[in-house]
Amino acid sequence: AQSVSQHNHHVILSEAASLELGCNYSYGGTVNLFWYVQYPGQHLQLLLKYFSGDPLVKGIKGFEAEFIKSKFSFNLRKPSVQWSDTAEYFCAVNAGGSARQLTFGSGTQLTVLP
């Protein structure tokens, strides 16, 4: 069965710092990859997605992620975070063997200090 690992459970940064959140998955075939964000008190929103093509994906609010197939990774990056980026971030994978299932990582809580 596929699994998703987010190794950073809680990240604390100051405004303007650069961000990189790790995401690794276990599945050797074709995958769809997602990053979702959950702001305090709000519902899950899609930040960006990868289906095929250019492995560097740009999403909303200045976020981007790079799919590195050889490393089974899909790390999320932002060059300069803002206080409003404080939220929980979830990586998710949709794999060929169980394409109806979106498997989520455990989430990373990002706190940005003003």
Partner 1 sequence: ETGVTQTPRHLVMGMTNKKSLKCEQHLGHNAMYWYKQSAKKPLELMFVYSLEERVENNSVPSRFSPECPNSSHLFLHLHTLQPEDSALYLCASSQVAGGVGGKNNEQFFGPGTRLTVL
Exposed, middle or buried, 9 (CB in 10 Å: 0-12/13-18/19+)? exposed
Q: Which is nearer to partner 1, 34 or 112 (CB)?
A: 34
Strands (E), the chain: 3-5, 10-14, 19-21, 24-26, 31-38, 45-50, 56-58, 64-68, 73-78, 87-95, 103-104, 108-113
What mask of x and - would describe binding to partner 1 in positions 33 to 52, judged by CB under 8 A?
A: -x-x-----xxxxx--x-xx
SS3 96: helix
**Least distance to partner 1 from the beta carbon of 34, Å?**
7
Q: Which is nearer to partner 1, 16 or 99 (CB)?
A: 99
Examine residue 107 and tell whether it contacts partner 1 (CB under 8 A).
Answer: yes
**Any residues with CB less than 8 A from the CB of 54 and at least 6 apart, and which?**
none
Q: Which is nearer to partner 1, 16 or 56 (CB)?
A: 56
- Token look-up 């303007």 returns 16
Examine residue 103 and tell whether it contacts partner 1 (CB under 8 A).
Answer: yes
Examine residue 1 and tell whether it contacts partner 1 (CB under 8 A).
Answer: no
The residues binding partner 1 (CB under 8 A) are: 4, 29-32, 34, 36, 42-46, 49, 51-52, 90, 92, 94-96, 99-107
